[in-house]
Amino acid sequence: MQKRRVGGGGDASLPMTVGDGAAATTTRRRRKKKRHGRSIFLCNTTFASVAIIMVMIFLSAFVMKMILDGHNNSVGGGGGSMTKERQTLDQHINIPGNMNMIGENKGGSNIFTGGKGLFKLPLSKFSTLSYALENADIVALYFAASWCPMSTPITKALDVAFSGKGILLPPLSNDGTNTKIKHEKRHRLAIVYISSDSSEEEMTLYAKQEWNVVPYESSERNEIKRHFSTCAKKEMDDLHINPRKHEIPTLILIDSLTHGVLSTSGVEDIKKNHEKALDEWAMMEQLARSMEEMIMV
């Protein structure tokens, strides 16, 4: 019952009409619903803003980690041990100031244009790698040996994953089947075998038909091992590699444009992803180049 003032000021208890009560209830519900809607909108907006900020922070932290990892883990120089984790932005050796820079590699030349001037690409000192670096997007340096039981399954996996599919850069040959030093279009991948075999005959029999091979008698075969501190255990003393960063088999992926190391974990990638490993390496290559472009800005 609601009291309503009557005439001379007395209170009279009169019943509220059904219409008045329903209207008041409806109004209260509408106001409550409106306030609730605004609260939900504000909550959703706040949540979206926080989510965007968190994603930006995460991406920034991820980019910075890759940059720091690249500068703290060099191959063949600068000290510090290289782990088996992927190095998407590895340090470019022989570039002043240990800086990663991206620029124009004109016509597959060994001169790198970018940043503060012209720099010699870090692997250009190895003439036995120049053909692969100039004609393939990614160069896989494969350190292995026919006598090594751990190399055998990896060699087979590489052959199954990439041979006969038009992916690999064919090696130069003496029989006239491939004499093109410069191809019109880059191949997606070149595998270069850096042998730890006991003889040239063993190396020749072990290397697959579509692989490029650093000649057995070339001094660069051992120089490349020293550069990457990668060899068989029994070679360490003769090559004066101590400490050794990588044993055999090891597959090191190189970005042919900058000569930067994309990954030292190629063996694990092949075991896990087989032929799909190439797509992962290509994504790492694009990411590394994008990050280096950001560094230059």
Lowest average pLDDT, out of 92-106, 124-138, 147-161, 188-202, goes to 92-106
pLDDT digits (tens, 9 = 90+) for 44-61: 555 566 667 666 666 655
- Contact between 135 and 183 under an 8 Å Cβ cutoff? The reply is yes
Arch. (CATH architecture) of 127-172+183-296: 3-Layer(aba) Sandwich (3.40)
Single-letter code of the amino acid located at 35: R
120 vs 287, higher pLDDT: 287
Q: What backbone torsions phi and psi does residue 132 show, to the nearest 5 degrees?
A: -70, -45
The pLDDT confidence band at residue 289, using thresholds 50, 70 and 90, is confident
Lowest-pLDDT range of 15-19, 100-104, 118-122: 100-104
**pLDDT-based confidence at residue 212 (cuts at 50, 70, 90):** very high
pLDDT (tens digit, 9 = 90+) per residue, 123-137? 999 999 999 999 999
pLDDT on residue 55: 63
Answer whether residue 87 shows pLDDT above 90.
no
What is the reported pLDDT for 43?
56
Instruction: With cut-offs at 50, 70 and 90, classify the pLDDT of residue 182.
Output: confident
CA 264 – CA 279 distance, rounded (Å): 16
Q: Is the Cα dihedral 14, 17, 22, 28 positive or negative?
A: negative
Question: What mean pLDDT is predicted for residues 164-169?
Answer: 96
Rounded to the nearest angstrom, the gap between the alpha carbon of residue 292 and the centroid of all alpha carbons in its chain is 12
**Mean of the per-residue pLDDT values for the chain?**
76
The model's confidence at residue 74, banded by pLDDT at 50, 70 and 90, is very low
Token reading at 123: 């692997």
Q: Where are the domains of the chain?
A: 127-172+183-296
Q: Indicate if the pLDDT at residue 183 is higher than 90.
A: no
Q: What is the pTM of this model?
A: 0.64
3-class DSSP string for the chain: CEEEEECCCEEEEECCCHHHHHHHHHHHHHHHHHHHHHHHHHHHHHHHHHHHHHHHHHHHHHHHHHHHHHHHCCCCCCCCCCCCCCCCCCCCCCCHHHCCCCCECHHHCCEEEECCEEEECCCCCCHHHHHHHHHEEEEEEEEECCCCCCHHHHHHHHHHHHCCCCCECCCCCCCCCCCCCCCCCCEEEEEEEEECCCCHHHHHHHCCCCCEECCCCCCHHHHHHHHHCECCHHHHHHHCCCCCCECCCEEEEEECCCCCEEECCHHHHHHHHHHHHHHHHHHHHHHHHHHHHHHHC
Rounded mean pLDDT, 3-15: 50
